[in-house]
Amino acid sequence: MPRPIEALLHPDALASNLQVARRHAGDARLWAVIKANAYGHGIERIWPGLLGADGLAMLDLDEAQRVRNLGWRGPVLLLEGCFEPRDLELCSRLNLWHVVHHETQIDWLAAHKTHQPHRVFLKMNSGMNRLGFTGDHLRSAWTRLNALPQVDEISLVTHFSDADGPRGIAHQVAAFHAATHDLPGERSLSNSAAILRHAEAADVRADWVRSGILSYGSAPDFPEHDIAHWGLAPAMTLRSRLISTQTLQPGDTGGYGRRFRAEHPMRIGIVPWGYADGYPRHAPTGTPVLVDGVRTTTVGRVSMDMLAVDLTPVPLAEVGSEVTLWGNGPDGSVLPIDEVAHAAGTIGYELMCALALRVPVRVVDSAQDMSGSA
């Protein structure tokens, strides 16, 4: 019998989350961002949930080839553009749209021999200071691209650094409009946080929005807002079962380094899930977890293959009791990934992408009975 661990993926939840994004986006078309193998979910596994998007956006040419192999005939956008001149050949063959953020990429286009002109998204650095052209450099880049026979259409794109926080997006929106107000072409401004938090701002409404982390059931502005606030649902559930229980007396310790010490008589449960499975080693005592759908916490250090949980709130729990590390638990219980990530000092993105290859994965409907064996 294999270890009782399992990752469940919910394409229907992903589809529902994309509809949330669409409702906030008004008339804009919707990119579903599927970089990092759909944020660790696996493109092929969650494919049915992506079909409601207007376009798919990613980084890797391999991922672009995979979605074309799956039968996607809609727009595909490479968010970081090409990394070397020969990438343009595959862009031509697969009809990929691609971001241009550096003069070198324009040089490659100018030297590229193609019978099919390219659709490019010219990126402005409006304050993120990561990729893109600033101010007048953007306009000169647009002029160069516009003169190339290899370029069919130029769209404009930028990325917000603070859409999830108090500073907001106004300063970047102003910079973007100042540099692009008289340039033709479609626009794409909003990421997940901007879609949800700034949907009513008329100056950010554009032709395309980019739905990333919200698609997978994580709130981009947690802890200010959680997924329930935004009407999102987990697209990934990690679950297991207790394989042992231990009774501790006051002063007893648990786990490596004796980081946890019992202050009163208590039972703990041992879960066969550790950092080699993708659970964060740095998650401290007190990280939330569900046992039989009841909220409790981890205790002690996370080991390579195991972690311990406090069974005080679940006195009837025994070997075999179901454990939900994050996602959908039994009887309608839910533990958002954001809460686990916040306790561990990280973000849901990292936890999704860290799911280990040795974890069995199954695709299920999110409304399906979650009480089956792990």
**Catalytic sites, residue numbers:** 35, 256
Closest CA to 322 of 303, 309, 340: 309
Gap between the Cα atoms of 21 and 324, Å rounded: 27
Structure-derived torsion over alpha carbons of residues 98, 101, 104, 109, reported in degrees to the nearest 10: 30
Tokens for 66, please give them. Answer: 């995979």
Closest CA to 323 of 349, 351, 288, 352: 288
Helix ranges (DSSP H) in the chain = 11-25, 35-39, 47-50, 61-69, 87-94, 103-111, 135-146, 170-180, 192-197, 227-230, 337-343, 348-353
What letters, b where the CB count within 10 A reaches 16 and e where it falls short, cover 329-338? bbeebbbbbb
Residues contacting 310, CB < 8 A, separation 6+: 266, 268, 296, 297, 298, 299
Closest CA to 120 of 137, 132, 128: 132
